[in-house]
């Protein structure tokens, strides 16, 4: 059995990753879920991929609950109470599937106050091992509170055999940790959100090694799982997500159909390019680019214009709550300029050159242009500007906004990507 060592303090206490590991499931159930009978939740595809094999090794299982393959199951909160009605009272849920099945079962288990076993069938997201379930509720995409799985059993052979698109999506989701890490370093340098070393060390030191081979499922899944643990420990998604995820959330709310990982991939391209261009500017040039700070009225009018589709929840409130008044903006600019050399150095050390990032993502079959994920002209730049409004988290977008250079930089970015 290949048990991966976990940091203390997690809700997840058992993580097995390796070849032919399902035979270990009965013992894991006895140890971590004593007295409960396993109940598999899967869909027709994941049942074929892994569910059947898991079912065969179980002792005294309940009959599995299998969703049809079509229409495709969505992580909509409405399915949770329906599934709860099907759950036997002495069951330990065993989620066999991708991110959607896992999120549904995670939330179901959380509401029922029992823990569950996660058997991922594709290395497509970092959410398997995190607390909270990403679901649509009341028309809004949100992270609903619930504990992470108590145990995860991932078979590398099953992950390897998963659809190519899902593997590429997971690679992009892991890749995003590179620019997201740069943004945490920026927030740390400016004294806004210090880097927490134990959390940082779960992901960042081995990240470039994990990303060096998109076909190495052992590395990719280890990285995605580590990200989930980092989020569990930090109680927030900061360790895993920066502006690239905020862009992806905006496009998600706008109904862009591409997978989470693919939207994140295009966000990562934008983030990597903006970091490289911005932090290669000499500070004197940066200062020359800065216009007078925006007034509250100007910001409000701009937010209204960006949010006029009305699908962004309470973004306006968040944006205005974090808006720095002009005097505050000037102070922040001083701090940015005073720390410019440190910022440039830390960001450069964290990232890879933009062209290298683009090549790596392309090679892994991840989208690197807005058109590839179905964005219409204008939607890419609009998404990046809107992403600055939707969360309090300090990202590169806030720095660009404070310096008053968002529009200049985005115009250059659009030209670079042929948008
Ligand atoms: Zn993600």
Q: How far is the CA of 30 from the centre of ligand 1 (A)?
A: 32
Q: How far is the CA of 253 from the centre of ligand 1 (A)?
A: 15
Name the pairing type of β-strands 14-18 and 151-155. Answer: parallel
Which pLDDT score is estimated for 143?
87
Which pLDDT score is estimated for 5?
87
Closest Cα partner for 264 from 136, 131, 168? 168
C-alpha radius of gyration, the chain, whole number: 22
Q: How far is the CA of 192 from the centre of ligand 1 (A)?
A: 23
Q: Report pLDDT digits (tens) over 231-259.
A: 999 999 999 999 999 999 999 999 999 99
CA distance 321 to 206: 37
Q: How far is the CA of 126 from the centre of ligand 1 (A)?
A: 6
CATH level 2 (architecture), domain 168-193+238-417 = Up-down Bundle (1.20)
Q: How much is the average pLDDT of 200-220?
A: 97
CA distance 191 to 299: 24
Q: How far is the CA of 195 from the centre of ligand 1 (A)?
A: 19
Q: What is the CATH number of domain 14-162?
A: 3.40.50.1970
What does the DSSP assignment read for 320-345? HHHPPPHHHHHHHHHHHHHTHHHHHH
Q: How much is the average pLDDT of 44-69?
A: 98
Neighbours of 283 (CB within 10 A): 15
Let me know: does 244 contact 252? Beta carbons within 8 Å: no
Q: Report pLDDT digits (tens) over 278-311.
A: 999 999 999 999 999 999 999 999 999 999 999 9
Burial of residue 260 (CB within 10 Å: 0-12, 13-18, 19+) is buried
Q: How far is the CA of 246 from the centre of ligand 1 (A)?
A: 10
Q: How much is the average pLDDT of 35-46?
A: 97
Q: How far is the CA of 232 from the centre of ligand 1 (A)?
A: 14
Mapping DSSP onto H, E and C, the string for 210-229 reads: HHCCCCCHHHHHHHHHHHHH
Q: How far is the CA of 166 from the centre of ligand 1 (A)?
A: 13
Q: How far is the CA of 152 from the centre of ligand 1 (A)?
A: 18
Which pLDDT score is estimated for 1?
54
Burial of residue 20 (CB within 10 Å: 0-12, 13-18, 19+) is exposed
Let me know: does 73 contact 101? Beta carbons within 8 Å: yes
Q: How far is the CA of 155 from the centre of ligand 1 (A)?
A: 21
HSE, side-chain direction, 13 A CA sphere, residue 174: 35
CA distance 201 to 86: 41
Q: Report pLDDT digits (tens) over 133-170.
A: 999 888 777 889 999 999 999 999 999 999 999 999 99
Q: How far is the CA of 173 from the centre of ligand 1 (A)?
A: 5
Q: Look over the chain and give the mean of its residue pLDDT values, rounded to a whole number.
A: 96
Residue range(s) occupied by CATH 1.20.1090 in the chain: 168-193+238-417
Closest Cα partner for 53 from 13, 103, 19, 100? 19
Q: How far is the CA of 203 from the centre of ligand 1 (A)?
A: 14
CA distance 220 to 174: 7
Q: How much is the average pLDDT of 310-337?
A: 96
Q: How far is the CA of 245 from the centre of ligand 1 (A)?
A: 6
Which pLDDT score is estimated for 417?
85
Which pLDDT score is estimated for 141?
76
Residue range(s) occupied by CATH 3.40.50.1970 in the chain: 14-162
CA distance 110 to 116: 9
Q: Report pLDDT digits (tens) over 356-390.
A: 999 999 999 999 999 999 999 999 999 999 999 99
Tokens of 172: 């992009």
Which pLDDT score is estimated for 418?
74
Q: How far is the CA of 197 from the centre of ligand 1 (A)?
A: 21
Q: How far is the CA of 159 from the centre of ligand 1 (A)?
A: 18
CA distance 141 to 255: 11
Q: How far is the CA of 99 from the centre of ligand 1 (A)?
A: 11
Q: How much is the average pLDDT of 35-50?
A: 98
């Amino acid at each position: 059995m290949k048990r991966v060592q976990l940091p203390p303090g997690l809700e997840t206490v058992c993580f097995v990753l390796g070849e032919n590991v399902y035979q270990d499931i009965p013992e894991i159930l006895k140890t971590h879920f004593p007295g409960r009978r396993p109940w598999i939740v899967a869909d027709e595809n994941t049942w074929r991929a892994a569910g059947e094999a898991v079912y065969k090794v179980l002792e005294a299982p309940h009959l599995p609950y299998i969703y049809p393959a079509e229409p495709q199951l969505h992580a909509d909160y409405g399915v949770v109470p329906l599934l709860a009605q099907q759950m036997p009272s002495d069951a330990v849920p065993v989620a066999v599937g991708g991110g959607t099945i896992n999120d549904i079962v995670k939330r179901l288990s959380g509401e029922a106050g029992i823990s569950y076993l996660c058997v991922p069938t594709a290395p497509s997201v970092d959410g398997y091992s995190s607390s909270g379930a990403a679901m649509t509720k009341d028309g809004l995409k949100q992270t609903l509170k619930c504990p992470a799985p108590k145990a995860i059993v991932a078979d590398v052979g099953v992950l390897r055999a998963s659809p190519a698109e899902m593997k590429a999506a997971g690679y992009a989701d892991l890749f995003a940790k590179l620019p997201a890490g740069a943004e945490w370093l920026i927030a740390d340098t400016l004294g806004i959100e210090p880097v927490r070393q134990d959390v940082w060390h779960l992901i960042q030191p081995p990240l470039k090694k994990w990303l060096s081979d998109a076909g190495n499922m052992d590395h990719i899944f280890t990285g995605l799982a580590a990200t989930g643990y980092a989020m569990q420990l930090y109680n927030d998604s900061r360790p895993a997500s920066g502006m690239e995820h905020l862009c992806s959330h905006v496009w998600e709310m706008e109904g862009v159909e591409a997978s989470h990982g693919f939207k994140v991939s295009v966000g990562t391209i934008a983030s990597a390019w903006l970091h490289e261009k911005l932090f290669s500017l000499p500070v004197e040039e940066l200062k020359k680019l800065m216009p007078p700070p925006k007034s509250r009225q100007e910001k409000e009018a701009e937010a209204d214009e960006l949010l006029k589709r009305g699908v962004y929840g309470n973004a306006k409130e968040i944006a205005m709550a974090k808006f720095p008044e002009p005097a505050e903006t000037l102070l922040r600019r001083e701090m940015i300029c005073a720390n410019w050399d440190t910022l440039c150095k830390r960001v450069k050390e964290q990232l890879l050159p933009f062209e290298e990032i683009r090549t790596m993502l392309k090679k892994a079959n991840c989208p690197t242009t807005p058109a590839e994920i179905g964005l219409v002209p204008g939607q890419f730049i609009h998404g990046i500007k809107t992403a600055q409004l939707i969360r309090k988290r300090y990202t590169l977008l806030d720095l660009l906004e404070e310096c008053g250079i968002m529009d200049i930089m985005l115009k250059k970015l659009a030209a670079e990507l042929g948008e």
